[in-house]
Every structure is written in C-alpha cells, then in structure tokens.
C-alpha cells in the first residue's frame, strides 16, 4: 500500500456491510490501522519475497478515521455498503490533515469499530478508539498490507494503475486488456470471497454451534468484508 508525505488514498479501499444493529440506536463507524507485529520488512527482488529487516520503528501518533456519515442510525448503516474510500495514509509524523500515520515497510491491519453514540463521547481522530461495553472492533486477515513509498513489484504497479480510478493519467488506452485480465486472475487475493466475521475470529468469545453472530448488547452484529 502506497503512503506519501501529502497523504494517499487506500487502494483498494476497505468496504464493509453490517447487519444486526438496533435500527433505532445511533452509532459511529470508525477505522484505525494497527501494526501486525514489531518487525520492519524489505523486499528481496531476486526471490520476489518480503523478508524481516529488523525491529519496527518507534510507534506513531494514534489516528482514527471516523466515517463522515457518523453518527447515524443502525437502520441507515445496515442498508448501505460502508466505504472507507476517502481515508488517506501518510508517513508524515507531523501531519495535521487527519490522515492515518504509518511507517513505510511495516505490516498493518485495518480495524473497523462499531461504537454506540452514547459510548462515543471520547471518540477523536487523534486519540485511540475508546473501549467499553458499547464498542466492538472487527478485523479481517485478508486486509493486512505492507506499506511502501513505491511499489516493489511491477505487476502490482500495473494491476493497481489499471484498477485505480484515481490513476487515469497513468493508463495507456491501447493496452491489451486480455493481458490485464490474465494478470488479475493470477492474483487470487484481488477478488476475495465475501467473508463474515465468526466466533472463531474473536478471542475470548465462546463458540455457539455454527452461528456467525457476534453478540453486542444482546443483539447480533455481523460485519462482512466486501470484495
């Protein structure tokens, strides 16, 4: 995932679908991005692999992206696909634009937070997400990414340019589309199947048969990543 000093939109963007909220309750939807581990990575060209290069850099200031439609009723959130396409990433630790601050060459995991309005008094773009009874976090392993300031693989460069609506200026209108489609098919992660959060994904939550409902204030929330 590209990060820049000025801020770069995540692409592909994170999109989710939520069900099981109280239709009449007000909620905030927010996202933060946390390190996967305490390592720094480098790309080894001759083997086309990411390798550990040392310990992670010092922690960056906490940032939270609060979805611009927040707060909204559970009914509103459940009837739409929630997109985080306006979220921007930066490696500028002095950023004052509200972008998510990350280190280059590190692995990160996006997390989506569902926060009842009455529990969101301390919610802020520059503070960690509050914790408590009315706050639940969801994450999907498929959304883990490595930050870079330039793509390390030419195939990924081409794939993103052809799929990113903001990269129109880089595209060649005469490019062979069959070649692109073959490339897309070679990257199975590009179109992951729809995945629903289950009890097995949540540490400390007991399994209840084959149900895929996460209990939230006596109501079940299902949050699914949208390919």
Its pTM stands at 0.74
Domains of the chain, with CATH numbers?
8-151 (2.60.40.820)
Q: What is the DSSP string of 144-196?
A: -EE-BSS-S-HHHHHHHHHH-GGGGGG--TT--HHHHHHHHHH-GGGSPPPEE
Cα–Cα–Cα angle for 223, 13, 60, nearest 5°? 95
pLDDT digits (tens, 9 = 90+) for 214-227: 333 323 566 766 65
Does 178 have pLDDT greater than 60?
Answer: no
Q: How many residues does the chain have?
A: 227
pLDDT digits (tens, 9 = 90+) for 122-134: 999 999 999 888 9
How many Cα neighbours within 13 Å face the side chain of 191? 7
Q: What pLDDT is recorded for position 35? A: 97
pLDDT digits (tens, 9 = 90+) for 155-167: 777 777 777 776 6
């Amino acid at each position: 995932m590209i990060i820049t000093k000025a801020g770069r939109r995540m692409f592909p963007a994170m999109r989710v679908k939520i069900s099981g909220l109280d239709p009449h309750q007000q909620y905030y939807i927010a996202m933060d991005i946390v390190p996967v581990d305490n390592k720094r990575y480098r790309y080894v060209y001759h083997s086309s692999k990411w390798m550990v290069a040392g310990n992670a850099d010092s922690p960056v200031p906490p940032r939270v992206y609060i979805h611009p439609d927040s707060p909204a009723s559970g009914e509103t959130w459940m009837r739409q696909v929630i997109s985080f396409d306006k979220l921007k990433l930066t490696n500028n630790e002095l950023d004052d634009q509200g972008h998510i601050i990350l280190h280059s060459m590190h692995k990160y995991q996006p997390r989506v937070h569902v926060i009842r309005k009455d529990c969101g008094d301390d919610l802020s773009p520059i503070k960690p997400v509050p914790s408590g009874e009315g706050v639940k976090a969801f994450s999907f392993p498929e959304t883990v990414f490595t930050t870079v300031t330039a793509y390390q693989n030419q195939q990924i460069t081409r794939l993103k340019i052809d799929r990113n609506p903001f990269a129109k200026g880089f595209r060649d209108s005469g490019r062979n589309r069959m070649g692109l489609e073959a490339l897309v098919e070679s990257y199975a992660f590009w179109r992951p199947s729809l995945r629903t959060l289950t009890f097995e994904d949540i540490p400390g939550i007991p399994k209840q048969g084959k149900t895929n409902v996460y209990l939230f204030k006596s109501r079940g929330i299902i949050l699914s990543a949208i390919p």
